Chain A
Amino acid sequence: MISLTSPVETRAHRWPAAVKLGALAMATVGLFTLQDVLLHAGCLVAVLLVYLLPGQVFFRAGLGRLRGLWIFAVLIIGWHLVTSDLVAGVVIACRMATAVALANLVTMTTRLSDMMAVVRWLLAPLRPLGVKTARVELAMALVIRFTPVLALKGQMLTQAWRARSRRRPGWRILVPFAVLAIDDAERVAEALRARGGV
């Protein structure tokens, strides 16, 4: 399973994940307290410059992940153009883009294993309360494995449908799809029990 971590190795890849997450939380809160439009524009430019530091490949990958925000930016600025409060619209659009770009930056420079370590650390206080945190990690690993398996089974169902019918496979394959998923779950549960359970 491909994660969204950037294959371009940066210095930030080696920073502790918890520190990056803490800094991100503080920066996001800070963004919501800023009001000045020039400061907001400055923040956005600064974040984009940070994206440029590891090179062109990293920069383009980062911009690609912000593409989905254009529609919201246009919507907001257009709306505020009508209500003749353009500055407020630009502030909102800049704040949104900066916040998302910063968060993506943490995701792009932090490996899944490092993120899992933070989850383990966050769950640790629950252990004395009787919560079996190993189960959470097992469930996460199962989802990561199950997702491509289910996607493949969905494709096979679609092909089987196409072999039998000239019509498009629609919602009708969803029931057998869910049945396959449930059968997988029952078999995995059996296998887990056979290996001594959790």
Chain B
Amino acid sequence: MERNIALIAVFAALVAALGLLPPLMLASGIPVTAQSLGVMLCGTVLGARRGGLAVLLFVALVALGLPLLSGGRGGLGVFASPTAGFVVGFPIAAFATGFVMERLSRMNIGVAAGLASVLGGIVVLYIIGMLGFMLVLSKGPVETLMILGVYIPGDLIKAVLAGVITAGLARARPQSVLSRS
């Protein structure tokens, strides 16, 4: 139990710490932050339940007023802004990533983590994120996808990284990769 709480708290802090890294600029000039990479890792390393709880903890602390989102954002205003859906979707995305990861237990761990990150950390996250965007800005799904779609290439890179990092962790600390034990 103590181990679960400590791992959940550390991964919530990992999501926050990754948001502090300066955003990477793609060739297209679109900034990419490492924060959603942290969300993917919560799912691929901790599994559905614990990964979802870790990110839920992170989002709760953002709501309470800590500046943990990338760019030092936080507080209740985040949940009224056009990107609210993505923040609300983070825990669900981590859960979905972990869920897929647990179903792919026979596959190579890196490939499974990459695939789970694409399904959970991109597909599920964008569905919820787009719903929030459409609600706040009264836009249709096509227009929304045109605006938000520019971030998808960066997210695909993050899914590949999530696969590589999860495979690395499985080699370095196999007993801590709870999605596989």
Contacts and interface: CB of A to CB of B under 8 A. Distances in A.
B30 interface: no
Contacts of B8: 139
Interface size class of B (residues with CB under 8 A): 35 or more
A46 B9 CA distance: 40
Interface string A62-83: 0001101100100110010000
B1 interface: yes
Contacts of A75: 147
Given A179-B172, A186-B6, A198 B60 contact: no
A28 interface: yes
A96 B82 contact: yes
Contacts of B80: 28, 96, 99-100, 102-103
B141 interface: no
A192 interface: yes
B16 A143 contact: yes
B61 A140 contact: yes
Interface of B: 1-3, 5-14, 16-17, 20-21, 34, 37, 41, 45, 57-58, 60-61, 64-68, 71, 73-82, 136-139, 143, 147, 161, 164-165, 168-169, 172-173, 176
Q: Nearest 10 pairs between A and B by C-beta?
A: A107-B75, A146-B13, A142-B9, A103-B76, A175-B168, A99-B80, A185-B10, A104-B77, A150-B17, A189-B6
19 contacts: A4-B75, A28-B80, A103-B76, A104-B75, A112-B64, A116-B64, A139-B8, A140-B60, A143-B61, A144-B66, A147-B13, A150-B16, A178-B168, A185-B10, A185-B176, A186-B176, A188-B9, A193-B2, A198-B5
